[in-house]
């Protein structure tokens, strides 16, 4: 079978820095992979996915982008930024009612020229939000607008290629910086980042079975959506297939720890608040309450439980999320 066409557009500033973060409590070394600094529209992990998702949009001759997310979706804000860069009109289907004043990600998305569609649905009502996206996409097709419609979080196999490539980028940086990574920890929600990293891991493992490769640990922050090892492995396998690989991941490759989520998506936790302070005081890393702070609280929690050996090297992928810090309601 011929390898499917993969088109990448340049949207992110890569490689992002891999910074030393000093010692964790256990004596393990912390490293911070600064994917909050991908550059596109204030940065974050979605830039890597959007390079491939927008490549697909251009291949399909799309003239507009449609996507969906929570009211303060970073993915929606970054899709709006990509739309601005590529001169594609952007429609965002959002949870929640129209606020009196746009804040955070919504303020930025509107600034980038996107059209915001406030649905009034709850942020965890993925089903109705996805239906609204499908309906809007249909309307745009009917109007001859040639939309490229992207599911929640940009977590398709095409989007996940961004993180298969990021895995290689991280390993290459470790070699340059002369250390071997023992674990990569990051926040997982819609699963595309995770699936991409797993695809990268599986590919690297096959290339050199002797090589020590990091454990990939996702800290889950959203209920009911892609929170299963099976679905992430499946998405990783679709990603591997797009990359022309016959290799396959299994659910055993996928570690998702949902125990740092608290009661639900976007509901604050004490551990995340403490992790935010720790990161801000240690390295002026700015974590957001919805994603990166919970992910980092997971890293600190695993460390406190003795999971990481003294002098081992633990990488935290800082996935971004800055704008939601400035939301007042
Ligand atoms: C979207 C997002 C994540 C989760 O990435 P997924 O690929 O959806 O799992 C993590 N952190 C931030 C800041 C995000 O915006």
The pLDDT tens digits of the residues spanning 269-320 come to 999 999 999 999 999 999 999 999 999 999 999 999 999 999 999 999 999 9
Angle value at C-alpha 313, between 311 and 319, nearest 5 degrees? 150
Name the residue among 35, 27, 23 with its Cα closest to residue 283: 23
pLDDT for 223 equals 82
Interval 108-116 mean pLDDT:
98
4 backbone dihedrals φ, ψ, rounded to 5° = -60, 155
d(CA 281, CA 31): 15
d(CA 307, CA 314): 11
pLDDT for 227 equals 72
Interval 135-154 mean pLDDT:
98
Tell me the CA–centroid distance for residue 284 and ligand 1, in Å: 20
Interval 253-269 mean pLDDT:
95
Residue 153 pLDDT more than 90? yes
16 in contact with ligand 1, CB cutoff 6 A: no
Tell me the CA–centroid distance for residue 314 and ligand 1, in Å: 19
Per the prediction, the chain carries an average pLDDT of 96
pLDDT for 2 equals 59
45 in contact with ligand 1, CB cutoff 6 A: yes
Residue 224 pLDDT more than 80? no
What is the greatest pairwise CA distance in the chain?
A: 60
**Of 71, 231, 291, which is best to mutate to test ligand 1, by the most ligand atoms within 8 angstroms of its C-beta?**
291
pLDDT for 180 equals 98
The residue written with tokens 């490539």 in the block is 165
Pick the atom of ligand 1 nearest to 187's CA. Answer: 10
In percent, the amount of the chain with pLDDT more than 90 equals 95
pLDDT for 4 equals 76
Tell me the CA–centroid distance for residue 192 and ligand 1, in Å: 8
Name the residue among 305, 312, 318, 322 with its Cα closest to residue 259: 305
Tell me the CA–centroid distance for residue 44 and ligand 1, in Å: 8
d(CA 146, CA 140): 7
95 in contact with ligand 1, CB cutoff 6 A: no
Pick the atom of ligand 1 nearest to 195's CA. Answer: 7
Residue 3 pLDDT more than 70? no
Interval 67-73 mean pLDDT:
97
44 in contact with ligand 1, CB cutoff 6 A: yes
Pairing, β 29-33 against β 18-23: antiparallel
67 in contact with ligand 1, CB cutoff 6 A: no
Interval 262-274 mean pLDDT:
95
Pick the atom of ligand 1 nearest to 49's CA. Answer: 7
Interval 41-51 mean pLDDT:
98
E strand intervals along the chain:
18-23, 29-33, 64-69, 89-94, 115-118, 147-149, 183-188, 215-220, 255-257, 313-317
Residue 226 pLDDT more than 60? no
């Amino acid at each position: 079978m011929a390898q499917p066409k993969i088109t990448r557009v340049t949207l992110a500033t890569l490689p992002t820095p891999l910074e030393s973060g000093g010692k964790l409590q256990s004596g393990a070394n912390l490293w911070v992979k600064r994917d909050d600094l991908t550059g596109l529209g204030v940065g974050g992990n979605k830039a890597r996915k959007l390079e491939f998702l927008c490549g697909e949009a251009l291949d399909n001759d799309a003239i507009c982008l449609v996507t969906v997310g929570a009211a303060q979706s970073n993915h929606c804000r970054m899709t709006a930024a990509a739309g601005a860069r590529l001169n594609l009109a952007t429609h965002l289907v959002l949870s929640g009612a129209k606020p009196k004043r746009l804040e955070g990600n919504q303020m930025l998305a509107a600034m980038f020229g996107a059209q915001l569609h406030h649905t009034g649905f709850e942020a965890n009502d993925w089903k109705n939000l996805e239906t609204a996206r499908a309906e809007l996409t249909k309307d745009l097709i009917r109007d001859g607008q040639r939309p490229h419609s992207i599911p929640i979080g940009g977590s398709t196999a095409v989007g996940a290629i961004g993180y298969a490539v990021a895995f290689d980028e991280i390993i290459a940086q470790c070699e340059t910086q002369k250390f071997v990574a023992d674990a990569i920890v990051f926040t997982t929600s819609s699963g595309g980042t995770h699936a991409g990293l797993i695809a990268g891991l599986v590919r690297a493992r096959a290339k050199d079975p002797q090589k020590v490769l990091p454990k990939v640990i996702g800290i889950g922050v959203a209920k009911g959506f892609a929170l299963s090892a099976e679905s992430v492995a499946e998405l990783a396998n679709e990603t591997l297939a797009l990359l022309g690989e016959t290799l396959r991941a299994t659910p055993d490759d996928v570690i998702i720890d949902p125990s740092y989520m608290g009661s639900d998506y976007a509901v604050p936790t004490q551990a995340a608040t403490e992790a935010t302070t720790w990161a801000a005081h240690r390295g002026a890393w700015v974590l957001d309450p919805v994603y990166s702070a919970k992910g980092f609280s997971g890293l600190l929690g695993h460390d406190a439980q003795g999971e990481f050996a003294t002098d081992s090297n633990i990488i935290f992928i800082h996935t971004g999320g800055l704008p939601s810090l400035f939301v007042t309601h």
